[in-house]
């Protein structure tokens, strides 16, 4: 026997993640915000500025981000920082 039931199907549009591209060279990431090529690796880049104002009556925030692939980070952005005023990155490592 074929059983039928009535279901409600809503037609709507929703903004969902599609892909991440480098704002410098246009390279597309393979895994959402993880730029690694292999599933067991993680390479995340973060270049962002967040401004926030919080008052008793409410607040607001503004987040500006650049999505940069590891190649552009290492070979362009880092070199630019280091060649301007001797900028140095904060580097933290861990092993487990
Ligand atoms: Zn890039």
45, 68 in Cβ contact below 8 A? yes
Query: Is 92's pLDDT higher than 90?
Result: yes
Highest mean pLDDT among 12-26, 57-71, 80-94: 57-71
The structural domains of the chain, with segments of one domain joined by +, span 18-87
Spacing, Cα 22 to ligand 1 middle (Å): 5
Over residues 26-54, the pLDDT tens digits come to 999 988 889 998 889 999 998 999 999 99
Q: Which class for 29: exposed (0-12), middle (13-18), buried (19 or more C-beta within 10 A)?
A: buried
Average pLDDT estimate for 77-96:
90
Give the side-chain half-sphere CA count within 13 A for 81.
11
CA 25 to ligand 1 centroid distance, Å: 4
> What helix, strand, coil percent values describe the chain, rounded to 5?
15, 25, 60
Distance from Cα 76 to the centre of ligand 1, integer Å? 9
pLDDT of 18 higher than 90: no
| Ligand 1 centroid, distance to 81 Cα (angstroms) | 16
């Amino acid at each position: 026997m074929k059983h039928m039931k009535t279901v409600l199907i809503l037609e709507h549009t929703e903004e969902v993640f599609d892909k991440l591209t480098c704002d410098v060279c246009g390279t597309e990431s393979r895994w959402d915000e993880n730029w690694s090529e292999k599933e067991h690796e993680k390479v995340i880049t973060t270049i962002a500025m967040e401004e926030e104002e919080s008052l008793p009556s409410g607040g607001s925030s503004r987040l500006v981000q650049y999505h940069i692939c590891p190649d552009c980070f290492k070979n362009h952005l880092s070199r630019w920082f280091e060649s301007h005023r001797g900028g140095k990155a904060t580097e933290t490592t861990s092993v487990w």
